[in-house]
């Protein structure tokens, strides 16, 4: 006969066992090869990643360029800073096998070249300069460390919720202008994993821009021009602001400066900080002085060289940053105010979630049950699917035009 108190003890033990099963199995924080192998084996979205970089050239349409993705450069950084440049892959399976085998600490994406980059030496021996970049996304790189002269909460690679809004402002201003002023539609914003954001403009027009055209677009956004030792780093030309700058100032910068930055960075909390602002006031009209102060403290600061040249490498989305262990996840520009870099899943966190769900489940199911699933779903539905739809339409249009041209030539 079982006593009542024995039944209670048994129920408590069962509940504790159930809680242990339901709770994520903790994984020590860190970044190492063993952790990465699990991530690359279970969570990295190879299929979606490869579809993106194919831009519809996957062999399913008669008008596609089947050599396209095989001419794309991938760069792997292995443990102990071993660099493997000019990697290339003809299929998602090849890419997946190489990543799982080499377990890179970082993956960078380069341009599409005129020939397979892994065979560049063979072409070089011919004496013809045929190995050149021919296509590349228009990219932007913005780091919070470039704002160290106007933020007082952090410095270097450190970031907090008081200074991260500077990245949010950069996203808002560039995203609006790229869409409204340049007519681009397929724009991917990605958290760098530590201290900044990356922007990939993936429209066909953007990918085919020359270096000169890229430099012109980058210069269009350039307001912050001062060197490290320059006292005055923003000088707005003309009697009135350019329409793009005026819209940025009225819609975003002015309110952010007055309502957020003044308080979060305590810009008037010391004589030194006050004097810094006073030093920006020259013999100009008061309104222009105020505008230049606001732009100096809030306007996006781009790494110009990254945007100007086709052959520049940029870290791939869904990499793990080795210093923080955080995933380079996409950022929704329409909800970028809600993005918190400290809430981005870490490698250890994801492995703990995998432990909780069990490693026997299939890869897709495992992914959906981790905190990374939401980011990959956003990448797929908000960016990849509309992009591939547009690519298919462009391929269809170009193919039909080519057929019509052939018919016309036969009629002659």
Report the catalytic residues. 73, 141, 143
Joined together, the tokens standing for residue 64 give 């596609």
Three-state secondary-structure class, residue 182 = coil
Spatial distance between the Cα atoms of 71 and 86, rounded to a whole number of angstroms = 9
Mention every residue, 6+ apart, whose C-beta is less than 8 A from residue 342.
161
Distance separating alpha carbons of residues 100 and 95, to the nearest angstrom: 9
* Phi, psi torsion values for 197, nearest 5 degrees: -135, 150
Q: How far is it, in rounded angstroms, from Cα 175 to Cα 164?
A: 17
The two three-digit tokens of residue 243, written as one number? 């329409």
Supply 354's token pair.
């995998």
> What is d(CA 71, CA 292) in angstroms, rounded to the nearest whole number?
45
CA proximity to 193, closest of 108, 264, 260, 111: 108
d(CA 368, CA 316): 21
Residue 128: burial class (beta carbons within 10 Å; 0-12, 13-18, 19+): exposed
DSSP state of 253: I
Q: How many angstroms separate the CA atoms of 205 and 403, rounded?
A: 23
Q: In angstroms, what CA-CA distances link 257 with 179, 226, 247, 254, 292?
A: 24, 20, 15, 5, 12
């Amino acid at each position: 006969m079982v006593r009542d108190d024995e039944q209670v003890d048994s129920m408590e033990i069962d509940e504790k066992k159930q809680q242990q099963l339901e709770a994520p199995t903790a994984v020590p924080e860190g970044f190492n090869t063993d952790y990465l192998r699990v991530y690359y084996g279970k969570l990295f979205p190879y299929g979606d990643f490869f579809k993106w970089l194919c831009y519809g050239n996957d062999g399913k349409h008669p008008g596609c360029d089947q050599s396209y993705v095989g001419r794309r450069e991938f760069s792997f950084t292995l443990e102990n800073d071993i660099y493997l440049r000019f990697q290339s892959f003809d299929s998602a399976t090849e890419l997946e096998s190489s990543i799982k085998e080499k377990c890179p600490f970082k993956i960078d994406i380069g341009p599409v070249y005129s020939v397979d980059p892994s065979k560049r030496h063979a072409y070089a021996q011919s004496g013809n300069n045929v190995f050149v970049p021919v296509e590349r996304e228009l990219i932007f790189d913005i780091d919070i460390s470039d704002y160290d002269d106007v933020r007082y909460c952090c410095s270097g690679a450190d970031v907090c919720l008081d200074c991260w809004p500077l990245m949010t402002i950069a996203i808002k201003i560039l995203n609006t202008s790229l869409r409204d002023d340049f007519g681009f539609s397929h724009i991917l914003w990605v958290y760098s994993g530590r201290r900044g954001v990356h922007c990939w403009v993936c429209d066909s027009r953007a990918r085919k821009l020359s270096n000169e055209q890229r430099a012109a677009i980058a210069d269009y956004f350039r307001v912050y021009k001062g060197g490290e030792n320059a006292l005055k780093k923003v000088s707005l030309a003309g009697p009135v602001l350019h329409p793009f700058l005026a819209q940025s100032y009225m819609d975003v910068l002015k309110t952010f400066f007055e309502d957020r930055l003044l308080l979060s960075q305590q810009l008037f909390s010391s004589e030194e900080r006050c004097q810094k602002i006073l030093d920006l006031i020259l013999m100009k009209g008061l309104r222009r002085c105020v505008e230049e102060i606001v732009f100096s403290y809030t306007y996006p600061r781009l790494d110009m060289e990254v945007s100007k040249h086709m052959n520049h490498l940029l870290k791939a989305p869904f990499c793990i940053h080795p210093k923080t262990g955080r995933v380079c996840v996409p950022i929704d520009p329409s909800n970028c105010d809600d993005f918190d870099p400290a809430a981005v899943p870490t490698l250890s966190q994801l492995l703990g979630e995998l432990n909780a769900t069990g490693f026997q489940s299939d890869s897709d199911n495992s992914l959906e049950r981790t905190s990374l699933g939401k980011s990959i779903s956003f990448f797929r539905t908000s960016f990849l699917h509309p992009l591939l739809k547009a690519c298919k339409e462009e391929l269809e249009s170009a193919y039909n035009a080519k057929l019509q041209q052939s018919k016309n030539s036969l009629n002659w």
